Amino acid sequence: MARPNVWQPVADCWVSQPLDPTYEGRASPRIRPWPFMSVVLKTVDQVLGSPITEGPRLSFEVGRITARELVRERVRLEVERYNSSEPQRGLVLVEPAKEECELNGARSVKRRPLDAERQIAVALEAMRRGRVVILFNGVQVSDLDAPLVVTPISEARFLKLVPLVGG
């Protein structure tokens, strides 16, 4: 026997959602459209006084997420990219001679892989202390656990605040 459905509002439209038996016949608090639909969320990075840069695009199901989930996904993706990429060699002003390179061997640049959970904790702490502010669809997010409605036109702007030096 098929489970009954309930109609739920999602992103300015109504979608049918199966009832979740773990919630005693009520629709689950996290709206999951049926069939599952995903949307790519545009992110923008901004530091006051610097040019705006486009951040990574994050994929979420259409519906509601929290700022905590947004930060977790963003940091997890960045750590994954960092750990899978080759270390970049910075500007080198002095290059050893060819003979010295042959004698000493090739210079390798090694870096330790980042721990995603630790970086997520650091990012959430920066949010809590007000060093990073999220503007979701133009509105400042003050509660990490408040629901945010994700639509195809949603935008998350990460604004890094830099403390003033001096008096």
Phi-psi label, residue 128: left if phi above 0, alpha if psi -120 to 50, beta otherwise:
alpha
- Upper half-sphere CA count for residue 82 (Cβ side, 13 Å): 14
Task: Return d(Cα 67, Cα 73) in angstroms, integer.
Answer: 10
Show the DSSP H helices in 97-143 as ranges: 98-104, 116-129
Indicate if the pLDDT at residue 30 is higher than 80.
no
pLDDT band at 109 (very low <50, low <70, confident <90, very high): low
The answer to whether 53 and 157 have CB atoms below 8 angstroms apart is: no
Under 8 Å between Cβ of 123 and 71: yes
- At residue 98, the pLDDT reads 78
Q: What angle do CA 37, 38, 44 make, to 5 degrees?
A: 155
Q: What is the pLDDT of residue 152?
A: 85
Residues 146-164 pLDDT 10s: 999 988 889 999 999 887 7
- Structural domains of the chain sorted by starting position, each given as residue range(s) with its CATH number in brackets: 7-36 (no CATH), 37-160 (3.10.20)
Contact 2, 21 (CB under 8 A): no
Share of the chain above pLDDT 90, in %: 33
